[in-house]
Structure 1
Amino acid sequence: MPETPETPGTPETPETPAPAAGGPARGPASGATIRLEGLTKRYPGSALPAVDNVTMEIGAGELVVFVGPSGCGKSTTLKMINRLIEPTSGRIKIGDEDVTDMDAVKLRRKIGYAIQSSGLFPHMTVAQNIAQVPKMTGWSRSKVTARVEEMLDLVGLDPGEFRNRYPRQLSGGQQQRVGVARALAADPPVLLMDEPFGAVDPITRDHLQDELIRLQHELRKTIVFVTHDFDEAIKLGDRIAVLREQSHIAQFDAPEAILTNPADDFVSGFVGAGAALKRLNLTRVRDVGVVDFPTVTVEEPLQEIFDSLRSGTHNEVLLLDKRRRPYKWLRRGDLMRAKGSLARAGTLVNDTVTRDATLRDALEAVLTDNAGRVAVTGRRGEYIGVVDMETLMNSVHELLDADRLEAIEHQHQLEEQRAERTRAAQEGLA
């Protein structure tokens, strides 16, 4: 069973934020700076500390990912921030406040916490789970009710459909969304996430990652995220802290810098092969051309759908359901073979991407589609447009060309440095 997490409470007034180191400008941050100073954890009977003298600063509104091998201390470091694990020594500062010695329960009510398998209370409804800490901190009933509705909408769940369900009635992905909603319910400046998407299937995990990216663009919290998956770290992080044993920092930098200039062989091992292709995780669908595509809805008369197919410049249209979500791809011959029934016509849409999906996500979806395109959707799955293979391949070529130019420039710099050292040695001999 996962730990039952403490959940957040009403935050202190956040300080004016600095922009995140690696991410785009996204408006004012509602997060707070986190400063770890010499943070250490020793367990009795252990020869070496589990975490040894970690010092770092995480900017307000920044999403920082801890990544490292199993047992390196990344989760222990995370849990010391909200003091689920008490540090042996060192200081923790959030905003202008030293929280090292404050009441631990009060501290945890000011920090959101999301874990693997969501950690929802099974005997409480979704609404009761989300409302827990706002109620404990004295919010009025009307304010709590409004906040529950707002949080469910924020994470893409229909309040009318989900507020009265119990966790057992939700899919794994829905449980994780509710877990994030609960962690954010009392508007904390800091959110800690300990491998929150590790227990769901790969497709759901991609969608949850996209959802977190979207939320962070809207909310600008300070988020510390633990994962063992370097691709996930690249996709999510403004900066990544690559940790060795005992949480010693091997490199703490923007994803681009780690991919193009790893600090040493240890970091290179995490980057692995295909660094140029991994950079596809740094570009979002919203940054490339999303084109429109002919659409019809299930509510339109069959003859009008047939006329749209027959008169259009495309040999297919995208059929949307009553909520304008992608449902089927319809070709010209489908309706005639289906004998006038949409139920038997067309090919179901098996995959979509959001605007916050990475180019890697989009490329994988396009490669599995015979027609070489994928529908792009909004927060509630509504149709926005289509991204196609040509657009994605142009972006890939641009990334590869940039890497080649960077490699040539780097080689020139090395040659100039060698020439300079040779000149200096010759002058010294003279």
Structure 2
Amino acid sequence: MSETTATGRDRHAAAVAHTSTTGATIELEHLTKRYPGSRDPAVDSVNMEIKAGELVVFVGPSGCGKSTTLKMINRLIEPTGGRIRIGGEDVTDMDPVKLRRRIGYAIQSSGLFPHMTVAQNIALVPKMVGWPKSRIRARVEEMLDLVGLDPGEFQGRYPRQLSGGQQQRVGVARALAADPPVLLMDEPFGAVDPITRDHLQDELIRLQRELHKTIVFVTHDFDEAIKLGDRIAVLRERSHIAQFDTPEAILTNPADDFVSGFVGAGAALKRLNLTRVGDVEITDYPTVTVNDRLQEIFNKLRGSGTNEILMLDKRRRPYKWLRRGDLMRAKGSLARAGTLVHDTVTRDATLRDALEAVLTDNTGRVAVTGRRGEYIGVVDMETLMNSVHELLEEDRLEAMEHQHELEDARAQQTHFEQEGPGGEAKA
């Protein structure tokens, strides 16, 4: 893809984001679901306020009611008590079909209709609400471009012709097609492989930065919650809220033992999920392309002062790591030489993603790519380890401060016990 085309599409995506509907507040008041024949409610009097443009993650053990709570927001499951307000409007008694057309919904395994093309799937809700055909065609192209799929290549395909990750992207495009202020996502990335899941998470972070929707996201994976959420609601049984706070606050100050169980060991490493690759130094690295001649590649490697070089494919995506020994053994062809790039990260990936990718590729660095997989630079192990050490030092200082506070409190208590309430020493 030419740089001109990519730049034009970026401007187009920015224009789409600028004109789209932004998020709306969601208020849940004593929201309850009780199933006939059950002694206890499945969801018991949930009170929560979600800010406009906020991404809130529900996380909790299986069966705690998080998906039920989510589905009551768009009334796929009808509440038996309480109120739901979206943008200040009480939607509890609204026609549920009309309500769902105003709320995007993305689920695990995408939920695409197999007999419809990608374009027809995305166009479904805009068609239902009466958009004109020309506007629908333009919107399908906008949405595919927004989720990183070439409209010319993908809109005529059927779901069976897509990979799992591509299906999920189309599912998100369909959920956003009618420009809803609210997007509900029920474990949408749970059925794809870990690498694809990381990239889909990065894509959601990028989309949210552009669109500012209100997103409620359900997951059982606490690391995913930390990576994605502006705030996380840790839910107990019957959707009782154990803690509703920012990821950093939950990691550093869990409310109780139940929440601590979700945080688990290695809180400092989990905090790597709070820092993005774009927040640290991305450095350039010597590159060649598959079209370069062997002698040109050898000369560039020799002049680079490094022991390896990154080969890019015809679309300037990371392809292979080539070392000096690979070139010496190439004998005129690089077809079997070098090590394939197994993983890359985007600017929106977390430092934990980057660390895992470095360890997977075993090269001491990971390539950073743009929206369409094009090479941007690299992040190396030294940068990542410096970040880990900084987090560990922060944790050490916080632990020392907490210990000093406990000692001061004990000293004050001892003084009070010795002096008595009147300030005089006890006899």
Query: Is the TM-score greater than 0.5?
Result: yes
What does 1:89-238 align with in structure 2 at a 5 Å threshold?
89-238=81-230
What does 1:374-385 align with in structure 2 at a 5 Å threshold?
374-385=366-377
Preserved CA contact (<8 Å) 2:21 2:180: no
Partner of 2:385: 393
- Structure 2 runs not aligned, ≥5 long: 1-19
Secondary structure of the equivalent of 1:84?
coil
Shift of the alpha carbon at 1:360? 0.9
Partners of 2:140 and 2:410 lie apart in 1 by 63
Secondary structure of the equivalent of 1:368?
helix
Partners of 1:150 and 1:340 lie apart in 2 by 45
Partners of 2:379 and 2:244 lie apart in 1 by 34
Preserved CA contact (<8 Å) 1:29 1:61: no
Partners of 1:346 and 1:171 lie apart in 2 by 27
Report the AA paired with residue 428 of structure 1.
Answer: P
Report the AA paired with residue 366 of structure 1.
Answer: V
2:71 aligned with 1:79, yes or no?
Answer: yes
What does 1:396-411 align with in structure 2 at a 5 Å threshold?
396-411=388-403
2:232 aligned with 1:240, yes or no?
Answer: yes
Partners of 1:265 and 1:109 lie apart in 2 by 40
Report the AA paired with residue 158 of structure 2.
Answer: Y
Report the AA paired with residue 350 of structure 2.
Answer: T
Shift of the alpha carbon at 1:99? 0.7
Partners of 1:90 and 1:255 lie apart in 2 by 28
Aligned match for 2:407, one of 391, 410, 415? 415
Partner of 1:427: 420
What is the TM-score of this pair, normalised by structure 1? Answer: 0.91
2:296 aligned with 1:296, yes or no?
Answer: no
Secondary structure of the equivalent of 1:342?
coil
Report the AA paired with residue 65 of structure 1.
Answer: V
Report the AA paired with residue 103 of structure 2.
Answer: I
Moved more, 86-95 or 334-343: 334-343
Which whole-Å deviations, capped at 9, do the CAs of 1:196-249 have from their partners, x for residues lacking one? 111111111111111111111111111000011111111111111011111000
Shift of the alpha carbon at 1:279? 0.7
Partners of 2:302 and 2:272 lie apart in 1 by 38
Shift of the alpha carbon at 1:165? 0.7
What does 1:1-40 align with in structure 2 at a 5 Å threshold?
30-40=22-32
Partners of 1:59 and 1:420 lie apart in 2 by 41
Partner of 1:12: none
Partners of 1:39 and 1:235 lie apart in 2 by 27
What does 1:248-397 align with in structure 2 at a 5 Å threshold?
248-397=240-389
Partners of 1:105 and 1:324 lie apart in 2 by 46
Shift of the alpha carbon at 1:303? 3.0
Partner of 1:9: none
Moved more, 342-351 or 229-238: 342-351
Partners of 1:105 and 1:29 lie apart in 2 by 20
Secondary structure of the equivalent of 2:64?
coil
Preserved CA contact (<8 Å) 2:342 2:360: no
Partners of 1:305 and 1:144 lie apart in 2 by 48
Shift of the alpha carbon at 1:29? 8.4
Report the AA paired with residue 268 of structure 1.
Answer: S
Partner of 2:13: none
Partners of 1:211 and 1:176 lie apart in 2 by 11
Hey, which of these two has a bigger chunk of helix by percent? 2
Shift of the alpha carbon at 1:274? 1.2
Partners of 1:338 and 1:300 lie apart in 2 by 14
Which whole-Å deviations, capped at 9, do the CAs of 1:109-166 have from their partners, x for residues lacking one? 0100000111000000001101111111122222111111111111111112111110
Report the AA paired with residue 315 of structure 1.
Answer: N
Preserved CA contact (<8 Å) 1:30 1:219: yes
Partners of 2:207 and 2:86 lie apart in 1 by 21
Preserved CA contact (<8 Å) 1:82 1:107: yes
Preserved CA contact (<8 Å) 2:341 2:361: no
Preserved CA contact (<8 Å) 1:37 1:56: yes
Preserved CA contact (<8 Å) 1:281 1:358: yes
Secondary structure of the equivalent of 2:361?
coil
2:61 aligned with 1:60, yes or no?
Answer: no
Q: Percent identity between the aligned chains?
A: 85
Partners of 2:284 and 2:249 lie apart in 1 by 35
Report the AA paired with residue 39 of structure 1.
Answer: L
Partners of 1:345 and 1:330 lie apart in 2 by 7
Report the AA paired with residue 133 of structure 1.
Answer: V
Shift of the alpha carbon at 1:334? 2.3
Shift of the alpha carbon at 1:167? 0.4
Shift of the alpha carbon at 1:418? 2.0
Preserved CA contact (<8 Å) 1:29 1:60: no
Shift of the alpha carbon at 1:333? 3.3
Which whole-Å deviations, capped at 9, do the CAs of 1:375-430 have from their partners, x for residues lacking one? 01111110010000000000000000001111111111122222222333323163
Report the AA paired with residue 206 of structure 2.
Answer: R
Secondary structure of the equivalent of 1:344?
coil
Report the AA paired with residue 273 of structure 1.
Answer: A
Partners of 2:252 and 2:362 lie apart in 1 by 34
